[in-house]
Structure 1
Amino acid sequence: MPPYAGPAAARPGEIAGTLRLLAYLAAAFALIVLDHRGGWLSNTRQQAQVFVQPLWSVAGWPGKVVDSISDDAGTRSSLMAENRRLRNELLVSGARMARLQAASADNDRLRSMLGVVKRGGLDVQLARILDIDLDPVKQRLVLDAGSGDGVRVGQVVIDAGGVVGQVIAVTPMHSTALLLTDPDHAVPVAVLRNGVRLVAYGSGRSDRLSLASIPLSSDVKVGDVVVTSGLGDRFPAGFPVGTISALRPDESRAFLVGDVTPAAQLDRGRDVLLLRSAPARPVIGPVAESTSLLPVSASVAAPATATLPASAATRVQRP
């Protein structure tokens, strides 16, 4: 067992520690005074910051990466939402533009028909097209007007261009019109330029009528306008039917056959006009200056109540 040293044995170590502490404090105080007066440590600090700056940058990378990812995610989310909103607005604007264009086209067609009515002083009524059948063997229009609206069998259907067809069936609410281009339909016509009388037959195509048995000696040319002749008392005289687009010999070489482009827009439009009463008979011949020989008289009148028998619809057999 070691001998007991007593309190005096610890004093030399304590004195040495106290002296070292005092020396450190004196050195620190001296450095503070020298730096405050001479500023010689500021350069050392600046140089140390140059070496430490990359370490700070490396230490700050994780935070920067996290902030960048967060910002990118928020920006992408907002951009996607903005794109969805703009896409929806574009679709809505496109739909509105399409409706406006359709309404503008309808207004133009109605304005054209109104011009025909005013120039010709026709007694007509407007009917909306509910359905159209352009089958090669059956070409019909279903109209949103029937006997309750004064429609009768045999009424002529026209548009701004010319003759469309004729009413062949009527119900209280609706009516059916036979188009000029129906294979079972024929209409007596005359060449506007010289009055040559012909018959235009339906071809089953909405863009073509047929002329048959044209005498070789007749003065008929491509580009001639044909109008209703008024024969048969089915179609009033002078309404445009179409323009001759082609002429060629038939199989016997004794006659010509021709193609006629219809004046009416049979495959488009939403409305047609039903002629209530026949206008005064116009003069057909070279004195006419336009394809429209419609007489100039009164304006649109009240609905007619007279009806015609079902046989009034024009169905002319081919020769």
Structure 2
Amino acid sequence: MALAPGDNATLFSAGAASTLRLIVYLAAAAILMIVDHRGGYLQTLRGHASLLVEPAYRLAALPADAARATRTAVASQSALVAENRELREALLLAQARLNRADAVAAQNERLQDLLEAQKSLGLSVQMASLLDIDIDPGRRRLVINRGTRQGVSVGQPVIDALGIMGQVVEVLPNTAVVMLLTDPGHAIPVTIERTGMRTIAYGDKEARDLLELSNIPTSADVQVGDKLITSGLGGRFPSGFPVGEIRDVRNDDTGMFATALATPAAAINRSSEVLLLHDLPQPYGPPQPQVDATAPAPEPVP
């Protein structure tokens, strides 16, 4: 069928001419593919074409790459934040365990010191633990977990492994209040160990956790570093227990007497366990004669 003037013939239009053109194109394409496959003549052309097309590919993939990188960065930052938080928690837990271990070791050491003091005293003692501390600046008192039901009485001396701490001033069924040596209302008869001089050690009125020795004659031999021990006078505290150490000696305003300040021997601000002293009954009469086990037994009298 002839084409009318003005009509455009296409590759796939019906007719013999169109079919012939199609066959020619297909044959040419086949020849080009065979020649290229055997000789690789179009490889360079395809390489240059790929260089021209590659920026278009990268530009098209840019939004997807940016979104992927953003998700990776956010996920990595979240993972780092979570890991950092876990590491901080682990560090705090390890530090808490270490502090607890140090506290337990210190407590065991204090208990060991108390047990050794209990064995070396040769007196009847009772262990107690601190329950509360009176923080009033004008008072220095503790509450312990022993009372009348455990045999505690008013006036009972309280010590730790280092020396005298105070005495019981109030007793309840299961608790007791202890007045410390440094309480302004406390007084204890003491002896200067080096010279044997007797005096009274009072609680410091200026809330410095010290002991004050007042009205000491200026002629008395009192020096910094002298040890104070209980004198046993008054019958409240047994003699020979450490009380404190002189840290300062100075004359008063009149110049006739001296005043000394002493640091308590007991760990008043650190002890969490204390010992209560009990009076031991004193034996009456002469001591019983000791029997020599190596001596022969006397023969019975017939």
TM-score w.r.t. structure 1 length? 0.79
Q: Cα deviation per residue 1:196-247 (whole Å; 9 max; x = unaligned)?
A: 1111111143521100111122211011111111111111111111000000
Gaps of 5+ in 2: 10-14, 283-302
Instruction: Give the aligned partner of residue 39 of structure 1.
Output: 40
Match of residue 307 from structure 1: none
**Cα distance in 2 for residues equivalent to 1:123 and 1:151:** 12
Counterpart of 2:75, as a letter, is G
Aligned counterparts of 2:20 and 2:108: Cα–Cα separation in 1: 110
Return the alpha-carbon distance in structure 2 between the equivalents of residues 276 and 152 of structure 1: 9
Deviation (angstroms), 1:10: 4.8
Shift of 1:20: 2.4
Number of aligned residue pairs: 273
Give the Cα–Cα distance (whole angstroms) in 1 for the partners of residues 31 and 197 of structure 2.
Answer: 131
**1:163-182 correspondence runs (5 A):** 163-182=164-183
* Whole-angstrom CA distance in 2 between matches of 1:89 and 1:28: 72
4+ runs deviating over 4 angstroms: 10-13
The equivalent of 1:85 in structure 2 is 86
Give the 5 Å matches for 1:122-201. 122-201=123-202
Q: Which amino acid aligns with 2:16?
A: I
Aligned-pair distance for 1:31? Answer: 1.0
Provide Cα deviations, 1:175-208, integer angstroms capped at 9, x if missing partner. Answer: 1121111111111111111211111111143521
Match runs of 1:19-58 below 5 Å = 19-58=20-59
Q: Is the 8 A contact 2:213 2:259 kept in 1?
A: yes
- Note the aligned Cα RMSD (angstroms): 2.3
1:212 aligns with 2:205: no
Check whether the contact 1:215–1:255 (CA below 8 A) recurs between aligned residues.
yes
- Whether 2:267 is the aligned partner of 1:253: answer no
Unaligned runs of 5+ residues in structure 1 are 1-7, 281-319
Residue 248 (structure 1) shift: 0.4
- Distance, in Å, in 1 between the alignment partners of 2:225 and 2:113 is 23
> Aligned partners of 2:210, 2:100: CA distance in 1, in Å?
30
Mapped partners of 1:9, 1:261: distance in 2: 131
Where relative contact order (Cα < 8 A, 6+ residues apart) is larger, the structure is 1
Matched residue SS, 2:19: helix
Percent of residue pairs identical: 47
Question: What is residue 290 of structure 2 aligned with on the other side?
Answer: none
Q: How does 1:68-83 map to 2 (within 5 A)?
A: 68-83=69-84
The one-letter code matched in structure 2 to 1:81 is A
Stretch of structure 1 that moved more, 46-55 or 234-243: 46-55
Q: How do 1:91-130 residues align onto structure 2 when only pairs under 5 Å count?
A: 91-130=92-131
Indicate conservation of the 8 Å contact 1:192/1:226, yes or no: yes
Evaluate the alpha carbon distance shift between residue 206 and residue 273 of structure 1 in structure 2; reply closer, same or farther with a 3 A threshold. farther
Is the CA contact 1:206–1:266 (under 8 Å) kept in the aligned structure 2? no
SS in structure 2 at match of 1:9: coil
- Give the drift of 1:69: 1.7
Distance 2:33 2:198 in 1: 126
Match of 1:193, SS state, is coil
Letter in structure 2 aligned against 1:57: R
Deviation at 1:60, TM superposition (A): 1.6
Equivalent residues of 2:160, 2:271 under 8 A apart: no
CA spacing shift, 1:186–1:134, aligned 2, 3 Å: farther
Which residue does 1:238 correspond to in 2? 240
